[in-house]
């Protein structure tokens, strides 16, 4: 080795040494639990929002298929700082010959669009096919035979039209499309609160009785338990990984981040970087966690609630569908917050 080589080697060693010390320290603490324990100790959902110039992961000019309701920059949103994401986990994975299915409402659609664009941006010249059949959207990366799909299903349980009206059947599921999929990512919550014109059912049936209405959180829990029973009975964890997208917070009440009430997410350009501690968990979050805990098959919660709570700046507001007549503080701009959810999803898929 020449003297120049030695200097470089020494420099590398000096950089590596402090890292090794940190690594060893952790190893000692967790020696009994072994390597897996050490990985578990790192809670990827616990962190802070930081500014990172390497984002966004994609520009909308590459993904003309992003729907108008999420395409804030295309709709003229002038500020850009909200494009920051939660820590930089930078990798891209390809699931050759696999099918990934998102099942849920517009927040699930949001995450599905983000994922397809993240993958597409990494291989922009690779051929893709985007199809829509009824409530199923399929994005296929033909060269790799990877399908990333979204099935619209806002409640997971069925709504069945009867002579006397539409019935939300808390104990019935249509699982045809869910069978044999490699990765399933479910989500449901926001539609359970709808009343009036937006409520797509006239009665609720819990399998025993029919109701005109009932406590929505209670109905949510019964519906989730029906879904959980299907997973416990029908999913083979060696073939299928199951995820649940945590409750995605909306930002219609600015009192939550310290402004006068009556204001919403409109005009917000920065995240709430203050810690929202002590933090009260969302009631739906508690129900979801309780149901997941009661299950026998492994379902991974994408625990995005807290990290998304800080992103009052990440919603389309007037830059979504309906423009200034709409006020969307529920869905998220793309590029944006769901990209982070997908980075966390990838961490789970690859880290295991
Ligand atoms: C593509 O993947 C599907 C499973 O998702 C598999 O059934 C099919 O055989 C694959 N096609 C090719 C050409 O490998
Ligand atoms: C999800 O994150 C919140 C806040 O960080 C935490 O209180 C909760 O226990 C987490 N849930 C699970 C199931 O890990």
Residues 202 and 303 reside in one and the same domain: yes
Which ligand is located closest to the Cα atom of residue 100?
1
The number of distinct structural domains making up the chain is: 2
Higher pLDDT, 91 or 192: 192
Cα–ligand 2 centroid distance for 344 (angstroms)? 14
Residues 123 and 17 reside in one and the same domain: no
Residues 110 and 209 reside in one and the same domain: yes
Split at pLDDT 50, 70, 90, the class of 13 is very low
Cα–ligand 2 centroid distance for 222 (angstroms)? 22
**310 touches ligand 2 (CB under 6 Å):** no
Residues 244 and 157 reside in one and the same domain: yes
From the list 244, 239, 268, the residue with the least C-alpha distance to 256 is 268
Closest atom, ligand 1, to C-alpha of 97: 2
Residues 3 and 145 reside in one and the same domain: no
Split at pLDDT 50, 70, 90, the class of 261 is low
Cα–ligand 1 centroid distance for 97 (angstroms)? 5
Residues 2 and 110 reside in one and the same domain: no
Closest atom, ligand 2, to C-alpha of 293: 13
Using CA atoms, how far residue 134 sits from 28, 52, 123, 137, in Å, is: 55, 39, 28, 8
Last residue of a domain, one of 26, 42, 58: 42
- Residue 160 exposed, middle or buried by CB count within 10 Å (0-12, 13-18, 19+): middle
Residues 6+ apart with CB under 8 A from 201: 159, 165, 166, 167, 168
Residues 10 and 61 reside in one and the same domain: no
Per-residue pLDDT tens over the stretch 293-331: 999 999 999 999 988 988 999 999 999 987 778 899 999
Rounded Cα distance between 298 and 236, Å, is 10
Cα–ligand 2 centroid distance for 303 (angstroms)? 6
Cα–ligand 2 centroid distance for 246 (angstroms)? 10
Residues 93 and 13 reside in one and the same domain: no
Residues 274 and 330 reside in one and the same domain: yes
Residues 129 and 86 reside in one and the same domain: yes
pTM over 0.95: no
Residues 169 and 297 reside in one and the same domain: yes
Q: Say if residues 152 and 135 touch (Cβ distance below 8 Å).
A: yes
Q: Which residues line ligand 1 (CB under 6 A)?
A: 97-99, 145
Per-residue pLDDT tens over the stretch 162-183: 999 999 999 999 999 999 999 9
Domain range for 26:
1-42
Residues 175 and 286 reside in one and the same domain: yes
């Amino acid at each position: 080795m020449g003297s120049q080589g030695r200097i470089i080697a020494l420099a590398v060693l000096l950089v590596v040494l402090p890292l090794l010390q940190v690594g060893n320290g952790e190893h000692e603490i967790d020696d009994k639990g072994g390597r897996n324990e050490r990985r578990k100790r790192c809670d990827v959902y616990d962190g802070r929002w930081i500014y990172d110039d390497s984002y966004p992961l994609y520009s909308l000019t590459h993904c003309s298929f992003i729907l108008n309701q999420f395409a804030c920059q295309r709709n003229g949103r002038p500020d850009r700082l909200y494009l920051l994401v939660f820590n930089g986990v930078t990798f891209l994975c390809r699931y050759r010959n696999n099918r990934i299915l998102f099942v849920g409402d517009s927040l699930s659609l949001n995450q599905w669009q983000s994922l397809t664009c993240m993958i597409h941006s990494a291989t922009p010249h690779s051929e893709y096919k985007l199809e829509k059949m009824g409530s199923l959207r399929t994005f296929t990366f033909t060269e790799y035979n990877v399908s990333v799909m979204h099935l619209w299903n806002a409640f997971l349980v069925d709504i069945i039209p009867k002579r006397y009206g539409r019935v939300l059947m808390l104990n019935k599921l249509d699982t045809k499309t869910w069978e044999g999929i490699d990765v399933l990512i479910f989500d449901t919550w926001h539609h359970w609160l709808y009343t009036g014109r937006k409520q797509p059912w006239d009665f609720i049936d819990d399998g025993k009785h029919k109701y005109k209405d009932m406590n929505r959180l209670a109905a949510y829990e019964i519906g989730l338990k029906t879904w959980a029973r299907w997973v416990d009975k029908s999913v083979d964890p060696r073939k299928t990984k199951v995820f649940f997208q945590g409750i995605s917070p909306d930002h219609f009440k600015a009192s939550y981040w310290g402004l006068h009430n009556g204001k919403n997410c409109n005009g917000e350009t920065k995240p709430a970087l203050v810690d929202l501690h002590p933090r009260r968990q969302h009631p739906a979050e508690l129900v979801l966690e309780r149901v997941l805990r009661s299950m026998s098959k492994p379902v991974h919660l994408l625990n995005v609630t807290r990290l998304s709570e800080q992103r009052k700046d990440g919603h389309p507001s007037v830059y979504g569908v309906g423009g200034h007549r709409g006020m969307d503080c529920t869905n998220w701009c793309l590029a944006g917050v769901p990209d982070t959810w997908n980075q966390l999803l990838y961490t789970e898929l690859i880290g295991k």
